[in-house]
């Protein structure tokens, strides 16, 4: 059994050294011959930098503490296959992802998943995920019953949703409180919570309904029963990816920036006001003077950077927790295993499994099935489950294989394996998240030219992160135009 290596994006490390010196970014034209520093080279930061370059704001500098770009978008190489180790697709309902791909000339590289359904590992076996879900909740009792995901008693309780009086208290509430009240415990635990764990690595009893399922909250406040909601309308596939992996998007974004616009292996260690804007202190010993700053770093890092400028922002950002996650890849030789006819399966929290979910990659994405090998990707890590972090990679693979065999019967030894750990993990949208983010943004009003971007604020998916980066860029550019005028 071979172990894979991480597929790092080639880069040149650019750092300063020696005594502290102040660097004023060279002006290259644009709005008032301005400059913007983007802290963080993940998808949000790169989307912001690309937007700023497109708007012609002058010099743009992206500062990334690691030795590669992309943040959670990363890849592993497994027997010659490059596989997404972070997100492996993006939702199309938010058009920001498809629009950016088209803008970058990548529209022809977009591919859709196979038209197969997903499964739930529930009540002792793999069962179909109910069809006709609207934002995760059932719309038709017949579909819920056909899936076998809940017991007859659970079905009877869920059927009451259509006749129960609609009562929803003021203020934010958890997704768990909302769904349990309307459909009962079993539908929540067997169907809704696994879906949200797969997206947020969270505990839906602690996730904010206002931030995670705002359409359900809005429907109830309008007096509508959730069973009567229409499913979101889509004109094409619900998800897409890039043929060469999502690192294609990272490379394309970086390629739009002028030479010298990216510093890798350098962290921002401080931020202060300067005469013309801000002074960014770097771990290289340099200080960069700039007119505006986009902070596209994890909330804990952003809190530290803003500590000397805004105590309220520091404290509020420090309250946004993240959950570490990991992905385990298993590759099997051609003809060695047989998979269920599905894209993968989700695992309810109540069963206390190590796995959150499992994707049959070579079956979900037909373009990965070129040589007949079977590739399976297992997700580990969710809010409240941390025991797996004490396992080394070998132990983690063995534990995942044991659960996979129990779920699918696959006991064959894999040809190659890989483990990818995401220490920064997934930001958790706890109850009150919307109010927290509004308070953070309000606390920065007194600091014109500072803007936040990333998964911690207005959505965790790639399109939401792209939109977040573009909004931050527009905010920074707007301030620059005001100053120039």
CATH code of residue 179: 1.10.3110.10
Look at residues 193, 228, 263 and tell me which one is the last residue of a structural domain. Answer: 228
**Interval 311-333 mean pLDDT:** 95
Residue 421, domain CATH = 3.90.660.20
User: Residue 79: left if φ>0, alpha if ψ -120 to 50, beta else—which one?
Assistant: left
Pseudo-torsion of CA 38, 42, 44, 48, nearest 10°?
Answer: 40
Q: Any idea of the CA torsion for 360, 362, 366, 367, to the nearest 10 degrees? A: 140
- Residues 306-344 as b/e (b if ≥16 CB within 10 A, e otherwise) read bbebbeebbebbeebbbbbbbbbbbbbbeeebebbebbb
**Domain of residue 43, CATH code:** 3.50.50.60
pLDDT of residue 110: 97
How confident is the model over 379-409, as pLDDT tens digits?
A: 999 998 888 999 999 999 999 999 999 999 9
pLDDT top residue among 79 and 163 = 163
437, 316: one domain: yes
The confidence score (pLDDT) of residue 21 equals: 43
Given 179, 195, 228, the domain boundary residue is 228
Parallel, antiparallel, or unpaired: how do β-strands 277-282 and 286-290 relate?
Answer: antiparallel
Both 85 and 66 in one domain: the answer is: no
Conformation bin of residue 161: beta by default, left when phi > 0, alpha when psi is -120 to 50: alpha
Alpha carbons within 13 A on the beta-carbon side of 83: 32
Q: Is residue 239 part of a domain?
A: no
Mean pLDDT of the chain: 90
Give pLDDT, residue 14.
33
Same domain for 140 and 223: yes
419 and 339 inside one domain: yes
Boundary of a domain, candidates 412, 427, 442: 427
Token match 């109010």: residue? Answer: 435
User: Is residue 329 included in any domain, yes or no?
Assistant: yes
Same domain, 445 and 313: yes
> In the predicted model, what is the mean pLDDT of residues 168-180?
94
Taking 80 as the threshold, does the pLDDT of residue 170 lie above it? yes
pLDDT band at 371; cut points 50, 70, 90: confident
Q: Which residues contact 52 (CB under 8 A, 6 or more apart)?
A: 36, 38, 60, 294, 473, 476, 477
- Contact between 416 and 2 (Cβ < 8 Å): yes
Sequence-distant (≥ 6) Cβ neighbours of residue 173 within 8 angstroms: 209, 210, 217, 431
pLDDT at residue 1, rounded to an integer: 62
| pLDDT for res 161 | 94
Q: Do 188 and 92 reside in the same domain of the chain?
A: no
Q: What is the mean pLDDT of residues 21-40?
A: 62
Do 145 and 92 sit in the same domain of this protein? no
Same domain? For 345 and 376 the reply is: yes
Q: Are residues 297 and 344 in the same domain?
A: no
Q: Is residue 237 part of a domain?
A: no
* 203: its two tokens: 């505990």
Angle at 206 between CA 204 and CA 211, to 5 degrees: 80
Residue 234 within any structural domain of the chain: no
Question: Over the chain, what HEC string results?
Answer: CEECEEECCCCCCCCCCCCCEEEECCCCCCHHHCEEEEECCEHHHHHHHHHHHHHCCCEEEEEECCCCCECCCCEEEECCEEEECCCCCEECCCCHHHHHHHHCCCHHHEECCCCCCCEEEECCEEEECCCCEECCEECCHHHHHHHCCCCHHHHHHHHHHHCCCCCCCCCCCEHHHHHHHHHCHHHHHHHHHHHHHHHHCCCCCCEEHHHHCHHHHHHHHCCCCHHHCCCCCCCCCCEEEECCCCHHHHHHHHHCCCCCCEEECCCEEEEEEECCEEEEEECCCEEEEECEEEECCCHHHHHHHHCCCCHHHHHHHHCCCEEEEEEEEEEECCCCCCCCCCCEEECCHHHCCCEEEEEEHHHHCHHHCCCCCEEEEEEECECCECHHHHCCHHHHHHHHHHHHHHHHCCCCCCCEEEEEEEEEEEECCECCHHHHHHHHHHHCCCCCCEEECCCCCCCCCHHHHHHHHHHHHHHHHHHHHHHHC
- Output the pLDDT for position 482: 61
Question: Picking from 65-74, 270-279, 295-304, which range would have the lowest pLDDT averaged per residue?
Answer: 270-279
Between 21 and 440, the more confident residue is 440
Asked whether residue 437 carries a pLDDT value surpassing 70, the answer given is yes
Is 385 inside a domain boundary? yes
Give a yes or no: residue 290 inside a domain. Answer: yes
Do 199 and 327 reside in the same domain of the chain?
Answer: no
Question: Do residue 218 and residue 144 come from a single domain?
Answer: yes
Q: Which residue do the tokens 């949703």 mark?
A: 161
Q: Does residue 2 lie in a domain region?
A: no
- pLDDT of res. 424: 79
Whether residue 204 has pLDDT greater than 80: yes
Give the chain's radius of gyration (CA, Å): 23
Domain count, the chain: 3
Q: Tens digits of per-residue pLDDT, 133-159?
A: 877 888 889 999 999 999 999 999 999
Find the domain containing 405 and state its range: 75-115+322-427
Percent of the chain's residues with pLDDT above 90:
77
Reported confidence tier of residue 132, pLDDT bands at 50, 70, 90:
confident
422 & 329 share domain: yes
Give domain status of residue 391, yes or no: yes
């Amino acid at each position: 059994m071979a172990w894979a290596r991480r597929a790092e994006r080639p880069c040149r490390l650019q750092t300063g050294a020696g005594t502290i010196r102040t660097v004023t970014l060279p002006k290259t034209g644009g709005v008032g011959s301005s400059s913007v520093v983007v802290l963080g080279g993940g998808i949000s930061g790169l989307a912001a930098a690309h937007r700023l370059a497109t708007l012609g704001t002058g010099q743009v500098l992206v500062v990334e503490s690691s030795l590669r770009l992309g943040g959670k978008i990363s890849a592993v190489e497994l027997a010659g296959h490059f596989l997404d180790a972070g997100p492996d697709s993006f939702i199309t309902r938010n058009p920001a992802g498809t629009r950016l791909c088209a803008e970058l000339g990548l529209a022809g590289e977009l591919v859709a998943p196979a038209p197969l359904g997903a499964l739930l590992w529930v009540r002792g076996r793999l069962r179909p995920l109910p069809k006709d879900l609207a934002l995760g909740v059932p719309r038709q009792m017949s579909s819920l019953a056909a899936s076998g995901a809940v017991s007859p008693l659970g079905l009877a309780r869920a059927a009451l949703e259509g006749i129960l009086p609609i009562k929803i208290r003021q203020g934010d509430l958890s997704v768990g409180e909302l769904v349990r009240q309307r459909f009962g415990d079993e539908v929540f635990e067997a169907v809704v919570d696994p879906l949200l764990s797969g997206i947020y690595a969270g505990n839906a009893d602690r996730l904010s309904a206002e931030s995670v399922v705002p359409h359900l909250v809005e429907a109830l406040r309008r007096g509508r029963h959730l069973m009567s909601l229409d499913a979101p309308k889509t004109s094409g596939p619900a998800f897409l990816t890039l043929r060469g992996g999502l690192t294609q998007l990272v490379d394309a974004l970086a390629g739009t920036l002028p030479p010298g616009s990216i510093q890798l292996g350098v962290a921002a260690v401080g931020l202060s006001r300067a005469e013309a804007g801000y002074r960014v202190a770097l771990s290289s010993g340099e200080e960069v003077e700039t007119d505006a700053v986009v902070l596209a770093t994890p909330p804990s890092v952003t809190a530290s950077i803003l500590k000397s400028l805004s105590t309220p922002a520091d404290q509020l950002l420090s309250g946004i927790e993240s959950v570490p996650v990991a992905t385990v890849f298993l590759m099997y030789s051609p003809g060695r295993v047989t998979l269920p006819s599905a894209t993968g399966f989700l695992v309810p929290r109540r069963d206390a499994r190590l796995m959150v979910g499992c994707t049959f990659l070579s079956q979900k994405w037909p373009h990965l099935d070129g040589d007949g090998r079977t590739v399976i990707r297992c997700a580990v890590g969710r809010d409240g489950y941390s025991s797996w972090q004490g396992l080394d990679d070998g132990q983690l693979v063995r534990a995942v294989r044991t659960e996979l065999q129990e779920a699918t019967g696959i006991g064959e030894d894999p040809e190659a394996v890989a483990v990818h750990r995401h220490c920064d993990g997934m930001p958790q949208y706890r109850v009150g998240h919307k109010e927290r983010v509004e308070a953070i943004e309000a606390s920065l009003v007194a600091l014109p030219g500072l803007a936040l971007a990333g998964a911690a604020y207005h959505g965790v998916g790639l399109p939401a992160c792209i939109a977040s980066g573009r909004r931050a860029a527009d905010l920074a550019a707007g301030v620059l135009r005001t100053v120039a005028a």
